[in-house]
Amino acid sequence: MVDRLRVAVIGSGFIALYHARAVAELPGAELVAAANWRPESLARLAAECGIPRTTTDWRELVGDPEVDAAVVATPNSLHAEQAIAFLDAGQHVIVEKPMAMDVAEADAMVAAAERSSGFLMVAHCWRFHPAVLALRDRIAAGELGEVVKTRGYGVHARWGPAGWFVDPDLAGGGALADMGVHAIDTARFLLGGPEPVRVCAAIGTRYREIAVDDDAILLISWSNGTNSVVESGWWQPHLAGLEAETEVYGTGGFARIFGYTDPPEPDYEHCPQSMYTAQMAELVEAVRAGRQPSPDGADGRVVMRVVEEAYRSGGVRAAR
């Protein structure tokens, strides 16, 4: 067992910086390396976070005895290959959402984790937000009675991503795979982790001429009898709820996580660094304790099952 978890960050884009800062903030972890095919962004990340070693070939870090854990923060099409390579070398992995392109890849990752001495964690970050945890606890305490339905949002209003996010071969889907997964996992987390028993959806590309979906409405029936509506989208003209916002309707009352549709003040940060640091702390603490971190590959796979079933039932999934 190591005193400090020695972490390598794979990818040097938007979310890699949050993960790198998280590792840097934690006394039980240390940033030892970063890898990305683009040397410019890699050098920027390394300089900003004081990462001593960089490489443009992530495979160099696979099996490296100086690297205990890898953060997979690359486009979705690379998640399975990279996570499996590190797991097969006995290293721990935290992989970004969505964990994979489809359920088959998620299965391969879960199988790799099962045969590995390393752990697999999936970065469903909203599980680490204090407001999400507080509502989860209220529901578990029975404050809302029996939960009848939830309505959750994974939507960007008036903007959407470009680049690899709208390339089906790299992203595996559009706003549903990008943003819907936050709302799906948050609903399930609030409900205590039920299994989906039925998923149907209406999915389309309505706001922009792109090769993936920018609009979806899902209906998920869970094994505990609750139904969840999940809306995902990019470029919507209006926001009914911030990312991962979830409304909960119970026999004993109503609650929602955040409670506002627009940012409440100009400098409001909806996705704070502290959420990602708490997420990384779970990996560090779990490894130190020798236990499986949560959420694990099986939790990530449930989200992929819902996404895959929704694309199947919604009729729209750009050809890969």
Please report, as ranges, the residues that interact with ligand NAD according to CB under 6 A.
11-16, 36-38, 41, 73-76, 78, 96-97, 123, 125, 164, 170, 178, 271
Min separation Cβ 21 and ligand NAD, Å: 13
Min separation Cβ 312 and ligand NAD, Å: 21
First to last CA, the chain: 42
Min separation Cβ 132 and ligand NAD, Å: 13
- Closest residue to ligand NAD in the complex (CB): 13
Asked whether the beta carbons of 157 and 214 are under 8 A apart, the reply is no
Min separation Cβ 316 and ligand NAD, Å: 19
CB-wise, 68 or 243, nearer to ligand NAD?
Answer: 243
CB-wise, 96 or 105, nearer to ligand NAD?
Answer: 96
CB-wise, 38 or 59, nearer to ligand NAD?
Answer: 38
Min separation Cβ 213 and ligand NAD, Å: 15
CB-wise, 96 or 309, nearer to ligand NAD?
Answer: 96
CB-wise, 11 or 194, nearer to ligand NAD?
Answer: 11
> Considering Cα of 121, then 293, then 230, then 260, what sign does the dihedral take?
negative
CB-wise, 259 or 272, nearer to ligand NAD?
Answer: 272
CB-wise, 112 or 255, nearer to ligand NAD?
Answer: 112
Min separation Cβ 45 and ligand NAD, Å: 8
Q: Position 30: which residue type?
A: E
The secondary structure of the chain as a DSSP string is: --SSEEEEEE--SHHHHHHHHHHHH-TTEEEEEEE-S-HHHHHHHHHHHT-S-EES-GGGGTT-TT--EEEE-S-HHHHHHHHHHHHHTT-EEEEESS-SSSHHHHHHHHHHHHHSSS-EEEE-GGGG-HHHHHHHHHHHTTTT-SEEEEEEEEEEES----GGGG-HHHHSSSHIIIIIHHHHHHHHHHTTSPPEEEEEEEEE--SS--SS-SEEEEEEEETTS-EEEEEEEEEES--SS-TT-EEEEETTEEEESS--SS-SSTT--SS-HHHHHHHHHHHHHHHHHTS--SSBHHHHHHHHHHHHHHHHHHS-----
CB-wise, 112 or 122, nearer to ligand NAD?
Answer: 122
Tell me the C-alpha distance between 90 and 119, whole Å.
8
Min separation Cβ 68 and ligand NAD, Å: 21
Min separation Cβ 66 and ligand NAD, Å: 22
